[in-house]
Amino acid sequence: DPEPLTEPLDPLPYPGDALPPLLRDAVREAQAFVQAPTALVACSALAALSLAAQGLVNVRRDHQLAGPVSLYLLAVADSGERKTTCDTIFSPALRDWESGRLMAIAPDLAARDAALAAFEAKKAGILDAIKHKRRRSQDTAKEEGELDALAREAPPSVAVPRLLYADATPEALAHALATGWPSGGVLSAEAGAVFGAHGMGYDTILRNLALLNVLWDGGAIAVDRRSKPSFQLRDRRLTFGLMAQPEALRGFLERAGTLPRGTGFIARFLIAWPASTQGTRAYRPAPAAMPAVERFGRRITALLDTPLTTDARGELTPTVLDLSPAAHAAWVRLHDLVERGLGTGGDYQMVRDVAAKASENAARLAALFHVLEHGPAGAIAVGHL
């Protein structure tokens, strides 16, 4: 009889001890209350950290190897594993910062709206005058000069902080990052809505996966659109923090065929599929406070309060963090260990796409751990790697 080509694998324990103390304590405290798999709790916390720090720093692995610290995280878990609760614990710092900044700039937005309304009224008046004269074959040089002068007086835009996205299509997400706040995240406890969006249909998936890959790489791509203005996507940052039920993930992979693996999209994700804790979660009353989670949240807020550096075009110019000599030596050992496993008969031969990204993801994690503890400056210590 034919034997199955796949076999179930026992989940490995989540390496919680590898997390820096501030993050580790918050994850343990939250997990003790929620009683969800540790991996789900940790993925929610890591997504918040990635979103808060990704606009501040890049990590340099070597002279020619520097790039973003953004993480793409995917946790696979059945319904009832309390995925939403995990996100709810770590997202308030992000949501509160976003809403607080929006309130702070409300007067600037109101003033800009008023100035824009006046600008558009003046523009409409000049255009009407040009149309009126042209119908009578009259000279419009004076009005055209006024229109040119007015264009230079257009009110400047106000940067509106927008961190969180849930069900935006990849193209809409890319446009929002390219024309608005340059750092954002798709955080969703129901990733089926993300994978099942119409932007992930078979006809458009190749283009959209390319967009998402460019965002992970921190590269540049021109997006040409027929019915809307085209735009350039350059030096923007995106975090994915997704939790998906197995059926939703399988449906996406079956519908998309070989593209998610073939384009390297799935390989960019840190994926966790932990053992269920259902059946072991005796009732526990909600704690009056979670001090470790609150300390972590305050640190996330402090990172978000750190101003982003941009160039004249509004593109991010993050600080570049280097690995310390000891950390770089450890990173090289990891890189070479994985590389040996990619060859014929190696441990990673069947998962070359994922394994080939492992050393870069390790550098990204180390940089995030460093920023969490020391801020966007200094060299990354070997302990963080």
Q: Are 353 and 378 in contact (CB under 8 A)?
A: no
Contact between residue 316 and residue 178 where contact means Cβ atoms under 8 Å apart: no
Angle at 288 between CA 282 and CA 289, to 5 degrees: 105
Higher pLDDT, 365 or 159: 365
The tens digit of pLDDT for each residue in 152-211 reads 888 888 788 999 987 677 878 888 898 889 999 998 877 666 666 555 666 678 888 888
> How many Å apart are CA 221 and CA 288, to the nearest integer?
48
Is the separation of the CB atoms in 113 and 119 below 8 Å? Answer: no
**What tokens appear for 353 in the block?**
């796409």
pLDDT, one tens digit per residue, over 2-50 is 766 666 678 889 999 999 999 999 999 999 999 999 999 999 999 999 9
Q: Diameter of the chain by CA atoms?
A: 89
Confidence (pTM)? 0.88
H/E element holding 66? strand 65-68
Q: Are the CB atoms for 265 and 240 separated by under 8 Å?
A: no
| Angle (nearest 5°) at CA 306 between 268 and 93 | 70
Percentages (nearest 5) of helix, strand, coil residues in the chain: 50, 15, 35
What's the CA gap between 290 and 76, in Å, rounded? 26
